[in-house]
Chain A
């Protein structure tokens, strides 16, 4: 027998040994959650232990197992529980994964306890948090969680006519026929611009108006120029802007430059970009009960109401904050995690820095929407 045979045998034996060891003594990283404090499933002999077990089941998408451990499962069905966590109608929750959680006991007695759990969900547009105050009760020798289910509104089956305007575009062909008729890009204009120094970076905020009669896909790019005319940095608005602007619609924008100070800059070159795209005037989103909360909460809350018949899978809310003289002092955004069903309010909350919150004189909120059949 040659050396190759012995090497192959050695590798096979090592593989078997490692598989057995991994099965008998699994690593913490196999729990399926990024929480550094996550433990393996064990007996729920304490309120915190019961909450940990439940949240780990949720992280692994073991909905049946998680539901089975609840103390109040007679109040709602397993599908209600699942929909509460995964959302419905293709919302952000549907495609989010539990990235980790924090558990903070609020109070405890011999038979019950209150635990605050903050679930950190990772989605395609960033993370969002889900705060639940869990009531945990002792049942015999173990503890069980009473889950505060949020039941999603079910829209009854119906036909809702949609007759809002829609634009379609017929483009010129690819042939280079100089002087041939073509449709030109929508006319957009930056109507406000304000650069500020903030936390070691330069932030450029402003507003852009579609002054044309056709819908526009817009983005804004800014280039910082030094005193010698050379470009220091160039960035664009990314998602701190509402990209689809209908005629006469205004969107804020915010462009962040890291590791640059305003004192280094001599001038800023703003480049708005617009292109013709098909679009629809539907859905119409009402933004109701907007309230600015001062410190320590320092946020702008409100409700989105889908006034149309089409379900909105993902909504993007952008807030523009002005000081008492009307100058823009901050732009912030948020993606509500739930779908917007017709005539069903969905809350949103936009965080505002504490130092900005005290200077706000007025604000304006817009919403852009994504439906699985189209993006707007």
Chain B
């Protein structure tokens, strides 16, 4: 009885002081990146607020009981943050998320950058959507894909993004040449150039004529099976076999044809090939 009253009084005093001085945080659960916001605080006295997360680290010295304002550039990186308020002899922590804003940038991966013509679903396009701060924009968005080739033909697809990504597959054109591949969402666009190159030679046909003591070999214009000219520089191999010996030469196509000279041997068998495509054979009888 002698000590109970002062003890109870001290306890009440302690409870009052704690309730009067403990800091309080009232963070919103979600904040949009790049948006200014403020949070109210309660309590009294000075305190220090730390905000940490993989996306950033901040420190503010605040006066409890006033609102704490954050500018548009304070928390640009989306992510999960932990707030720690250190005031007096106590700390309090809270958590909140910074969420991405609307898409402002695309990462557009168009592969391959070069492929043969007439390849079904040969071209793939993948788009990752980012806001202007580089955060992955996760809200579903319609993404338009357009592939235009030199003949004026355009393939268009629209895909809704999921988890910040959208993808599509397109066919390569019949006609060789550069194609423009564009991805767009709202008013954000990215373009890529896809080179559609001729395929393997469809057939290789050569002719031979005598010239002094040599045989001049020349192919017809070499085209792929879609009619595109096989590019200059493509190697064509000529082989001449005679009496247990042979002569070969690898010649680049120039202006659609491959041309060379080999020593003339009566009875020689001359063949032509490019890569794994074989052409015709000629038996040389002196040009007769």
Contacts and interface: CB of A to CB of B under 8 A. Distances in A.
Interface stretch (B63-71, B108-116, B279-287): B108-116
Interface stretch (A221-229, A287-295, A323-331): A287-295
A284 B251 contact: yes
A179 to B, nearest CB: 3
A306 B247 CA distance: 13
Interface in B68-104: none
B276 A290 contact: no
Contact of A209 (B107, B128, B254, B275): B275
Contact of A248 (B112, B248, B275): B275
B142 to A, nearest CB: 19
Interface string B180-194: 000000000010110
Nearest to B106: A179
Contacts of B106: 179
A286 interface: yes
A282 B275 CA distance: 18
B197 interface: yes
Nearest to B265: A289
Given A181-B192, A247-B234, A287 B247 contact: yes
A212 B106 CA distance: 30
Interface residues of A, number: 37
A183 B248 contact: no
Given A165-B254, A247-B231, A307-B260, A183 B107 contact: no
Nearest to B245: A291
Contacts of B108: 179
Interface in B119-137: 128
A292 B245 CA distance: 7
Contacts of B260: 284, 286, 307
Given A164-B254, A184-B111, A213-B198, A246 B246 contact: no
B235 to A, nearest CB: 4
A366 interface: yes
Nearest to B251: A284
A291 B252 contact: no
A281 to B, nearest CB: 4
Interface of B: 106-114, 128, 190, 192-193, 197-198, 200-201, 231-236, 244-252, 254, 260-263, 274-276
Given A184-B113, A191-B276, A290-B248, 8 more contacts: A165-B233, A247-B235, A284-B251, A284-B260, A287-B247, A287-B248, A288-B263, A307-B249
9 contacts: A181-B110, A181-B113, A182-B113, A183-B114, A246-B250, A248-B234, A250-B276, A285-B250, A288-B262
